[in-house]
A and B are shown apart, each in its own frame.
Chain A
Amino acid sequence: MAVGKAALLRILLLALAVAALSPCRAGEAEKLEFFETNIRPLLIENCYACHTQSKMGGLRLDSRETMVRGGSSGPAIRPGNAAGSLLIQAVGHTHERLKMPPSGTRLSDKQIEGLAAWIQDGAVWPDEDLAPQISESTAFAVTPRQRAFWSFQPVSMPVPPEIRNVSRGIAPVDRFILARLEEKGIERAPAADKRTLIRRATYSLIGLPPTPEEIDAFLADSSPNAFETVVERLLASPRYGERWGRYWLDLARYADGKIGIRVDDPYPNAFRYRDWVIRAFNDDLPYDQFVRAQLAADLLSEPEREKHLAGLGFLALSPRGDDRVDVVTRTFLGLTVGCAQCHDHKYDPIPTKDFYSLQGVFASSAYEEYPLAPEERVKVYKDAEKAIAGQKDVIKTFIERQTEQLIDVMLDQTSEYMMAAWDVMQEGGPGAEAVAKETDLDAEILERWVTYLRSDKEHQFLDDWDALVERGGTREDALPLAQAAEDFIRGVHKEKYEIEDRNYVKLGGAKGLLDERTRQYTNLEFLDLKKWYLWRDLASPPFSQNGFPFSGGVYYFGPQEDRSIDRFLGGVWKAHLEGLRAELKRLEEELPEPYPFIHGYKDSGKIKDLQVHVRGDKDNLGELAPRRFLHILSESEPERFTQGSGRLELANHIVHAGNPLTARVMVNRIWQHHFGQGIVATPSNYGQLGERPSHPKLLDYLAARFIESGWSIKAMHREIMLSSTYQLSAGHVADSFEKDAANKLLWRANLVQRLDAEALRDAILSVAGSLDEDVGGPPVDFADDNRRRTVYCTVGRTTTDRTMMLFDFPDPNSTSEKRSVTIGPMQRLYFLNSNFVMKQAKALAERLAREAGDDHAARIRRAYELLYGRPPSTDEVRVGLDYIEATQDPWPKYAQTLLGASEFSAVN
């Protein structure tokens, strides 16, 4: 039996190999090192694309055993016999049929010698690989240890711990915090004063400073729920969604355009997703619905479907096609499934197959534009667009034909033009205009000829002529050269068109000509390069090549204004062209407003499971990965998705109350924005390499409360903000500082050293009284006179606004979990010198005069209330007055200085 024989051979060979290995234990380490440094890298680089899991020719080269066993052509190696090894014959190109690697060039001799030496020496392979798993089944099993990892445990509802020293009113949240502080013997900082608190809460919830009136009202409210009143007011403000929606847009890598080569390609309706997010936060749309809408709004039933369709922007507005698995899993689950694209996740229980299971969901879906206008309007617009394109095409074709004919006619006059140019070029000769008139030639063309004949040329065909000019020949000598040139040029012209005709046939006619791929993969003919240069110089339209412009051939006239063909056209031709252009103008004027639409997503016509791309290589396909949820978040083998692409099923799995990650991830994001640090410090990574929670029970308590509240984000704000922990001051307690300088255990509030980019710009506009409070709509470009809230300003994908970048606005090309805050001199220059700040300082100065009257001290007090939320000290008033009195036109300068001071952009 064949199988038996093969098995026998294998055993024999193995035995032989073991025998070959055993006698020389001493040299083994050396041999292994030789293998690791010379052989394994060589195999990986040159062979593994085809000879591992995909087993081209039935051969795997990733273990000694499979090499010895070989593939359809027989054993690849015979240990101890390099010359007799198929591998050596193949890579040495000595085998008549097998020449490896199949692409590129042969391995270097040095590499082949290395391989041969290794085989000759017994083909030593490290022990752990001696018996590799050859089985094709890669059923993935999560080990109990992996499953026991903290973040995969179900969310519990811990009882808030008992606290010994309950000195002030404490919320459940505080009990978890205080328990840890008591355990470590860390004393808390005192509570923040009311001014600090309202400034903190206002920036935190709406991203703007509190007005002096709001501060006064809070100060005057002595009731125990005074702060609650403030929080409720802020949560009800439409400004709230503009602040918190923006944080979500960080995660959604939102931008107003598509990445372009130089500038963004437009995504004219991207803002509808931004506005939908803002509205969702303002409406406190339950988080589970919020998630579902962004992944599968198109699959929901009405009226939800229509209401939330714009939420699909989360998937649709992607900078590149293949980031969705990464963005979705990091954003919603805090898992880095993207890391499993090329290999099983190195740290977390996520097999490559899981990546392709999810990738399959998105591969079975597609970008879709959902018009927000009646069908009729869409049709009218599309028809009108088509008519314009058609008309432009007609004009283009007509002009091209005229251009060609003109060139044909002119080519026949080449010798005349050259001789006329000869006359012009004579020392003291007549001007081109005069010669043209006399010879009945076109003056412009003649001038071009003169210029051309005087220039350096990139071909040799007019060398005779140039030599004649150089040695001062006669007109009689020139004439035959001009005639010869004319004949030659006409020949080249003819040759070029013959080649084009042949290419046209090769491409299979007009269809192939228009198809880029067909053109790329057809062996086309080209005119000889030097002849092409000659042709170009006479007949080519203008073009630019690698930054070197060519302005157009001597005989070329076309649609361009500065070399328009119009003056060569007369009679019916002229009338015809004018008619065509008039029609185009009419069509363009009548083009209706573009209809609005949503950048969305849909199930594509081709629902399919993907095959694993082995090592991320799309040409090396492995086993099929059915569309389904992740193993680690399923109790047993996950069930296949059966409804269309499976996006809605995926969304439902993500927001399923039993999913241990979704709620934990979201409450932590909210916590992070309030405290400047998350309970989990890596908010989008809850895997092995992520940080462990500083307060695991608190995290669970919050997650459980979140689900219990019906996934209400606003309820979570209340839960957090009404705690005494939130209301602490940033004060210094020496002993506590010594024990926990980083404030990991939250014994005080963290100082916000600098507002983020949006809050900073908005605050400047707000205190200057300039802020435009309009809501939503198309993005407005950053400009000195743009007074909209920053969330409504254009977010470029290819280029981000430089001021925004300067203040650490996140890169919209990847999902962003945290704002970094840097402080540097370039930012100070912005406050010192930018037009925007200067302009707003002037507006602020005017506001102070308007609201505080003529009294300088009163203006200073008003300024401190507006900008810093507190009255100035007498000393500060004095410093201000000194400056005012000693300065010309002092107020704008004083206002600018107040804006540039650190206190303006700091909170707490």
Chain B
Amino acid sequence: MIGAGFGTVGFAGMLGARTSGPLDPKVPHFAPKAKRVIFLFLNGGLSQVDTFDPKPMLAKHEGEPLPGPKIKTDRASGNLMKSPFTFRRRGESGLPVANIFERVGGLVDDICVIRSCYSDNGNHGPSLFLMNCGHQLPGRPSLGSWVTYGLGSENENLPGFVVLCPGYPVMGPSLWSSAFLPNPYQGAYIRNDETDPEKLVRNIRNKVLSDTEQTRQLALLDKLNRSYLKRLGHQPEMESAIASMEVAYRMQMEVPDVFDINKEPEHVRERYGDSDFGKGCLMALRLAENDVRMVQVYYGNFQPWDSHDDILVHGKLARQADVPISALIEDLKARGLFEDTLLVIGSEFGRTPMIQNSGLEKIGKGRDHNVPGYTTLLAGGGVKGGMAYGATDDFGFKAVENRVHPHDLHATILHLLGLDHTRLTYRYSGRDFRLTDVGGRVIHDIIA
């Protein structure tokens, strides 16, 4: 057992119980509704008209071109295609949800469906950057970095921002980069296809030294550092730097437990299924429970939801996602976390109501990227449930009512966390930067 011996030498005793650091909890701008965020990223592009934004007109006009002048899409677009899935009104709110999200549909009274999202660029890269970092090009801090920069972390033994993906989504780590914000705000990337917690977090355990040996080493280290501090004289920053050792020591004990989903009873694990995404959702639950400020779970490597050639694949994906998403919502509620955890479920863009007219793929029953209109779900954390906000046109192509840009979504997320997106700034290279750049509008209508 580590601990006892080292505790008596204690850095804490030497330097005061707490030291200041970049991840110290900070006071928000105003009273927050949510304390933390879980962002389930369905990377590739969730089709709005096949899931949460039903369009009966598609069935009526199937096979016809989208009315109006010829529009500009990524590739030549084909004719309208109705959804192969059926919609049913669910819950007391009666919001329609496609049958491929059967269980999530049952929880629709807890969910706010934003149907009027739109983005600026039809390619995955720029849209992923916009949705994650508020700018189409790499080099800006991510949402999670801004959130931890603004609020710090409530748990000093864990990173404030954790990103889970079995491999990498398209564009990789730049999507959780802290860019010019200091490094501690960077997303701590964890491969959730690993089950061994010691492989999850690098260097979390010493593979050679026994606990006793390491405890003795730490006691020696403490003496060396104290002697150095004495030589240095007045250097308060150095004192706090040295104190990070204490945190590291505690992390060694706490981290493996938190990431170890095997610590959950079997009946809980079963409800999440055995997909990587399921494991990610369960890990997200445990991290939320341990006060990690933001967790982002990517559905899978590369871009699984990019159903260019066969929209029926969306059925397989949704049925796989349905299980852990609904389990996560239920467990957040059961553990009393739902009220102050904001759950965001969405993609970098949606999919066209038209068939993709592309010779790229072999089937020809898919949908292309859709930037003018798509759907994002919010739940918990001070958001109204059982509500649809905004609307797309009759065919689900373009957001026409209460349009929501990623900047608006970001402004709203920050607002729910008690942060004013116009005041959350960082001065870099002579300019004040913010997540929402020069845009962003808080969507007050969806706040409970």
For chain A, the bracket of interface size reads: 35 or more
Does residue B317 face the partner (Cβ distance < 8 Å to A)? yes
A690 to B400 CA separation, bound complex (whole angstroms):
41
Please name all residues of chain A whose beta carbon is closer than 8 Å to the beta carbon of B186 when the two chains form the complex.
805
Tell me if B244 and A832 are in contact (CB < 8 A). no
Does residue B301 face the partner (Cβ distance < 8 Å to A)? yes
Please name all residues of chain B whose beta carbon is closer than 8 Å to the beta carbon of A513 when the two chains form the complex.
359
Tell me if B184 and A822 are in contact (CB < 8 A). yes
Q: A836-867, CB under 8 A of B: which get 1 and which 0?
A: 00100000000000000000000000000000
Tell me if A825 and B244 are in contact (CB < 8 A). yes
Q: B133-148, CB under 8 A of A: which get 1 and which 0?
A: 0000111000000000
Does residue A879 face the partner (Cβ distance < 8 Å to B)? yes
Residue of A nearest to B275 (CB): A547
Please name all residues of chain B whose beta carbon is closer than 8 Å to the beta carbon of A516 when the two chains form the complex.
360
Query: Given A732-B233, A825-B247, A829-B252, A105–B312 Cβ distance below 8 Å?
Result: no
Does residue B401 face the partner (Cβ distance < 8 Å to A)? yes
Interface residues in B, total, Cβ within 8 A: 97
Q: B157-170, CB under 8 A of A: which get 1 and which 0?
A: 10100000001101
Please name all residues of chain B whose beta carbon is closer than 8 Å to the beta carbon of A799 when the two chains form the complex.
168, 172-173
Stretch of B54-62, B96-104, B212-220, B259-267 contacting A (4+ beta carbons < 8 Å):
B212-220
Query: Given A262-B302, A548-B313, A897–B221 Cβ distance below 8 Å?
Result: yes
Does residue B206 face the partner (Cβ distance < 8 Å to A)? yes
Residue of B nearest to A262 (CB): B168
Tell me if B431 and A822 are in contact (CB < 8 A). no
A797 to B225 CA separation, bound complex (whole angstroms):
37
Please name all residues of chain B whose beta carbon is closer than 8 Å to the beta carbon of A548 when the two chains form the complex.
313, 316
Of the listed residues A105, A503, A526, A731, the one surrounded by the most CB atoms of chain B closer than 10 A to its CB is A105
Tell me if A520 and B224 are in contact (CB < 8 A). no
A180 to B305 CA separation, bound complex (whole angstroms):
62
Q: A492-531, CB under 8 A of B: which get 1 and which 0?
A: 0000000000010001000001001011111111110100
Please name all residues of chain A whose beta carbon is closer than 8 Å to the beta carbon of B180 when the two chains form the complex.
820
Tell me if B300 and A902 are in contact (CB < 8 A). no
Residue of A nearest to B307 (CB): A546
Q: A773-812, CB under 8 A of B: which get 1 and which 0?
A: 0000000000000000000000000111010011010010
Tell me if A682 and B312 are in contact (CB < 8 A). no
Does residue A267 face the partner (Cβ distance < 8 Å to B)? no
Does residue A833 face the partner (Cβ distance < 8 Å to B)? yes
Does residue A389 face the partner (Cβ distance < 8 Å to B)? no
Does residue A814 face the partner (Cβ distance < 8 Å to B)? yes
Does residue A376 face the partner (Cβ distance < 8 Å to B)? no
Tell me if A753 and B372 are in contact (CB < 8 A). no
Query: Given A682-B429, A902-B225, A896–B363 Cβ distance below 8 Å?
Result: no
Please name all residues of chain A whose beta carbon is closer than 8 Å to the beta carbon of B365 when the two chains form the complex.
526, 529, 532
Residue of B nearest to A898 (CB): B224
A689 to B346 CA separation, bound complex (whole angstroms):
36
B115 to chain A, nearest CB (A): 14
Within the complex, which residue of B183, B306, B360, B430 is in contact with A519, where a contact is CB–CB below 8 Å? B360
Within the complex, which residue of B202, B251, B393 is in contact with A802, where a contact is CB–CB below 8 Å? B202
Please name all residues of chain A whose beta carbon is closer than 8 Å to the beta carbon of B217 when the two chains form the complex.
832, 893, 896-897
Does residue A754 face the partner (Cβ distance < 8 Å to B)? yes
Q: A750-761, CB under 8 A of B: which get 1 and which 0?
A: 010110000000
- B232-272 residues with Cβ-Cβ distance < 8 A to A are 232-235, 237-238, 241-242, 244-245, 247-249, 251-252
Within the complex, which residue of B157, B234, B242, B359 is in contact with A524, where a contact is CB–CB below 8 Å? B359
Tell me if A813 and B205 are in contact (CB < 8 A). no
B237 to chain A, nearest CB (A): 6
Query: Given A102-B69, A887-B216, A547–B183 Cβ distance below 8 Å?
Result: no
Please name all residues of chain B whose beta carbon is closer than 8 Å to the beta carbon of A102 when the two chains form the complex.
69
- B172-190 residues with Cβ-Cβ distance < 8 A to A are 172-174, 177, 179-180, 182-184, 186, 188-189
Does residue B208 face the partner (Cβ distance < 8 Å to A)? yes
Does residue B76 face the partner (Cβ distance < 8 Å to A)? yes
Does residue A135 face the partner (Cβ distance < 8 Å to B)? no
A183 to B8 CA separation, bound complex (whole angstroms):
50
Tell me if B363 and A526 are in contact (CB < 8 A). yes
Please name all residues of chain A whose beta carbon is closer than 8 Å to the beta carbon of B241 when the two chains form the complex.
753-754, 823, 902
Does residue B152 face the partner (Cβ distance < 8 Å to A)? no
Within the complex, which residue of A99, A808, A827, A903 is in contact with B228, where a contact is CB–CB below 8 Å? A903
Residue of A nearest to B157 (CB): A825
Please name all residues of chain B whose beta carbon is closer than 8 Å to the beta carbon of A529 when the two chains form the complex.
310, 312, 363, 365
- Pull 20 A–B residue pairs with CB atoms less than 8 Å apart, ordered by A: A262-B168, A513-B359, A516-B360, A520-B75, A521-B75, A545-B309, A546-B305, A682-B430, A798-B172, A799-B173, A802-B189, A813-B174, A822-B184, A829-B251, A838-B206, A875-B227, A883-B216, A896-B217, A897-B217, A901-B224
Q: Which residues of A contact B (CB under 8 A)?
A: 99, 102-108, 110, 261-262, 319-320, 330, 336, 458, 503, 507, 513, 516, 518-527, 529, 532, 545-548, 682, 684-685, 687, 689-691, 730-732, 737, 751, 753-754, 798-800, 802, 805-806, 808, 811, 813-814, 817, 820, 822-830, 832-835, 838, 873, 875-876, 879, 883, 886-888, 893-894, 896-898, 900-903, 906
Q: Other than the known A99-B68, A825-B244, what 14 A-B pairs have Cβ atoms closer than 8 Å?
A: A103-B72, A104-B398, A262-B168, A524-B357, A529-B310, A691-B430, A813-B138, A824-B183, A825-B157, A876-B224, A883-B216, A894-B220, A901-B228, A902-B238
Q: Which residues of B contact A (CB under 8 A)?
A: 21-23, 44, 68-69, 71-72, 75-76, 78, 137-139, 157, 159, 167-168, 170-174, 177, 179-180, 182-184, 186, 188-189, 202-209, 213-214, 216-218, 220-221, 223-225, 227-229, 232-235, 237-238, 241-242, 244-245, 247-249, 251-252, 300-302, 304-307, 309-310, 312-313, 316-317, 357-360, 363-365, 372, 393, 397-398, 400-401, 429-431
Going nearest first, the 9 A-B pairs with the smallest beta carbon separation are A519-B359, A526-B364, A828-B248, A685-B430, A825-B248, A689-B430, A825-B247, A690-B430, A732-B234
